[in-house]
Amino acid sequence: MAIIGSAMPLISLDAIVIDTETTGLDPAKARVIEIGAVPLKGGKLVEGGAWRELVNPGEPIPEASTRIHHIDDASVAGAADFAGVWPALAGRMTGAVVIGHTVGFDLAVLKRECERAGVSWQQPRTLDTNLLAQVVEPRLGGYSLEHLASWLGIAVSDRHSALGDALLTARIFLALLPKLREGSIRTLAEAEKACLALSNVLDEQHRAGWHEAVAPARARAEQALGRIDTYPYRHRIADVMTAPAKTIAAAVPLREALGIMARDKISSLLVSPTGEAAGTPLRIADAAIITERDVMRAMNERGAAALDAAVGTFASSPVVALPSAAFVYRALGRMSRHKLRHLVVEDGEGHVCGIVSSRDLLRLRAQEAAILGDAVDGAGDVPELGAAWARLPRAAEGLVAENVGGRDIAAVISRELGALTRRAGVLAEQRMRDEGRGAPPCAYALCVLGSAGRGESLLALDQDNALVFAEGEPGGANDQWFAAFGAVVADILHEVGVPYCTGGVMARNEAWRGSVATWQARLASWVARSKPEDLMAVDIFFDLLAVHGDARLANDVWRAGFDLAQGHVAFAKLLAEAAGEMPHSFTLLGGIRTENGRIDLKRAGLFGIVTLARVLAIRHHLVERGTPARLRAAIATLNRSVVDLEALIGAQETFLDLIVRQQLADIRAGLPAGNKVEVKRLNPQDRERLSEALGAVKHLDTLTRELLY
């Protein structure tokens, strides 16, 4: 790929504006069905250069997708597959800056299509009109193509076609250029720097599985980090792991394993007992690992004869693994504790999905802070667990000092609350055995719900947990064991600092545990209810996330809830009504209404946003957990103006940000963490942010009725 000079003026770029239409919104699964591209040169559209191709995805196109882009199976029946179309697009991208609107999604899908097709993918230099618009006008109500077109006075036509959206994006980019210049952003490097400063937006895209929306030259040196590197707290292992991991059968000679490592320039191989057939995932429980150090040790002990021995002879098992959704700081801590250079990465179903090495993490400088997570995992008893948990506010304090946003801090806290609950489950199992109650009678999943399940917990915590087990009737032997187990878990969590749930949402209570069959019957009963008061606390089930045990049991029940609720509009309405009305947050004179100088931002803002996102997800079968992901999925699904929903995403970020900072200030002052923010202590900028966020939720009740009724 040609080198694109960082000092190149934006108006002088050779660029290609791209857009894709796909089978869905999950970049890990979506298939490309249409590609559009428009070249730019010298700040102008290149006449006659527009290009568009349909792509046969090799699988049925969902009807929900067809309703958006009007491309069905018949439309692509005679089209080439991705491998046949890719060379034409790759040729257009070579040597050009690739521009798109939320281009990280398009790049993620294209990269995965290249991987499926076995063709080469090279990271292009990119710019995103969504980010550029936020740089130019950070207070704009929304950044969809329609919203930007309206703001810039650009006519909209042929929406939701790849070429139509590419043309619209190109015109928006050109219209942004003079506004960027007014802000002293003239060159490619200046544009990249300004976009990279929008770290919260970029991190949200990373969590959604999108590709880098801004990709500057790799040669640019990284800036020295401060006293804590926040990267490990803002990125998941999935962002840094190598995937797929190379696998070799245990019976293969060590010589062949060494050859593969040398050829592919890798330092480890996963070892399978029999060798996995193509497309068959390797289970964590069956995996072993051979590293370059193991090879050196074998050669030292056996000499050349080691090369003819089976690789399984020297492999290590069981492997040390972490889930792909874990934050990077947890990998650092785990490697430090076990004195390892490699960790296996697992998906939510107990299968290998990648590997992460110390080389992948060399540039990270947060080893001391990494103790935060691993101390929870390594706690041998309840006192140790309590000591580990006490470190969380200090870690949050460091993140605030490094200007990490409230949403990212909430994600870290949620992850650690899940880890704490998992460790409580392990210790509870030990206690059950020690007390003579035996091992779990069947497979089970210990889950968190509510904000922990959504990844949105802050420091004012209580317990929300549930149990799903494979089989057993209510009141039967299995249920009795899990009732006792749930009580021990609740006691441990309460003891280490996460108090009992005042609403009773805990696995020790019958309503929040049960077999798969019991949960299915319970779900059917919920959907059939006719009064809001019959559904109190039911809504947080849809945030359920397994943190210990057999995650498949929990995932199946969670998805079954969405499936049962699909088409039952009345159920979603009742859940919205059960949440109650939003309070009025402004005085008659337009000031912020407070009580004793504080405003409860959970009640005044967060709760309503979370409720709307959840009921929209239930109403439209949007199988997501996080509030931003649910709102974005709703935006993509609803055929209406999305400005209000986009504003809610920003408002939630503001509320989380202000709450966590107040909580830390209160903890420093010896006060319990809560959700009430002292308005007087806010600086003018934060007070303005708060007013805007409260304004975004001012008519949330009306918006909810419009979208549901």
The pLDDT mean for the chain works out to 87
3-state secondary structure of 331: helix
**Residue 579 domain flag:** no
Q: Are residues 252 and 214 in the same domain?
A: no
The pLDDT confidence band at residue 369, using thresholds 50, 70 and 90, is very low
pLDDT in tens, 311-341: 999 998 899 998 888 888 888 888 878 888 8
The pTM for the full model equals: 0.55
C-alpha 523/C-alpha 512 separation (Å) is 12
Give yes or no for residue 609 having a pLDDT over 70: yes
Average pLDDT on 357-370 reads: 56
**Residue 328 domain flag:** yes
Average pLDDT on 527-545 reads: 88
Q: Are residues 364 and 385 in the same domain?
A: no
Q: Are residues 423 and 561 in the same domain?
A: yes
Q: Are residues 320 and 263 in the same domain?
A: yes
C-alpha 600/C-alpha 101 separation (Å) is 36
Q: Are residues 450 and 558 in the same domain?
A: yes
Average pLDDT on 392-397 reads: 80
**Residue 589 domain flag:** no
Backbone angles phi, psi at 592, to 5 degrees: -85, 125
CATH code, domain carrying 213: 3.30.420.10
Question: What pLDDT, on a 0 to 100 scale, did the predictor assign at position 119?
Answer: 87
Average pLDDT on 6-12 reads: 70
**Residue 389 domain flag:** yes
The pLDDT confidence band at residue 224, using thresholds 50, 70 and 90, is very low
Question: What pLDDT, on a 0 to 100 scale, did the predictor assign at position 640?
Answer: 62
Question: What pLDDT, on a 0 to 100 scale, did the predictor assign at position 530?
Answer: 78
Q: Are residues 411 and 359 in the same domain?
A: no
Question: What pLDDT, on a 0 to 100 scale, did the predictor assign at position 172?
Answer: 96
**Residue 38 domain flag:** yes
Output 223 or 601, whichever has higher pLDDT. 601
CATH code, domain carrying 327: 3.10.580.10
Question: What pLDDT, on a 0 to 100 scale, did the predictor assign at position 72?
Answer: 94
Q: Among 126-135, 274-283, 692-701, which is the least confidently predicted range?
A: 274-283
Given a contact cutoff of 8 angstroms between Cβ atoms, the answer to whether 358 and 335 are in contact is yes
Q: Are residues 493 and 348 in the same domain?
A: no
Question: What pLDDT, on a 0 to 100 scale, did the predictor assign at position 359?
Answer: 72
Question: What pLDDT, on a 0 to 100 scale, did the predictor assign at position 227?
Answer: 39
Give yes or no for residue 511 having a pLDDT over 90: yes
The pLDDT confidence band at residue 218, using thresholds 50, 70 and 90, is very low
Rg, C-alpha atoms of the chain: 26
Q: Are residues 65 and 138 in the same domain?
A: yes
CATH code, domain carrying 541: 3.30.460.10
Domain boundary among 177, 192, 221: 221
Give yes or no for residue 365 having a pLDDT over 60: no
Question: What pLDDT, on a 0 to 100 scale, did the predictor assign at position 19?
Answer: 95
**Residue 157 domain flag:** yes
Q: Are residues 178 and 125 in the same domain?
A: yes
Given a contact cutoff of 8 angstroms between Cβ atoms, the answer to whether 548 and 417 are in contact is no
Which string of b and e fits 651-669 if b means at least 16 CB within 10 Å?
Answer: bbbbbbbbbbbbbbbbbee
Tell me the residue ranges of DSSP E strands in 561-704: 598-600, 676-678
**Residue 574 domain flag:** no
pLDDT in tens, 339-353: 888 889 998 788 898
Give yes or no for residue 220 having a pLDDT over 50: no
C-alpha 336/C-alpha 371 separation (Å) is 9
Mode of pairing for the β-strands spanning 352-357 and 444-448: unpaired
Question: What pLDDT, on a 0 to 100 scale, did the predictor assign at position 696?
Answer: 92
Q: Are residues 634 and 541 in the same domain?
A: no
C-alpha 431/C-alpha 549 separation (Å) is 17
Question: What pLDDT, on a 0 to 100 scale, did the predictor assign at position 181?
Answer: 80
Question: What pLDDT, on a 0 to 100 scale, did the predictor assign at position 367?
Answer: 41
Q: Are residues 389 and 521 in the same domain?
A: yes
pLDDT in tens, 456-492: 999 988 899 999 999 999 999 999 999 999 999 999 9
Question: What pLDDT, on a 0 to 100 scale, did the predictor assign at position 231?
Answer: 61
Backbone angles phi, psi at 364, to 5 degrees: -90, 140
Domain boundary among 341, 369, 397: 369
Q: Residue 321 sits in which domain range?
A: 239-369
Question: What pLDDT, on a 0 to 100 scale, did the predictor assign at position 50?
Answer: 95
3-state secondary structure of 281: coil
**Residue 542 domain flag:** yes
Domain boundary among 163, 190, 221: 221
How many domains are contained in the chain? Answer: 4
Question: What pLDDT, on a 0 to 100 scale, did the predictor assign at position 235?
Answer: 75
Q: Are residues 355 and 395 in the same domain?
A: no
Question: What pLDDT, on a 0 to 100 scale, did the predictor assign at position 278?
Answer: 53
**CA quadruple 224, 229, 234, 235: dihedral positive or negative?**
positive
**CA quadruple 147, 148, 153, 158: dihedral positive or negative?**
negative
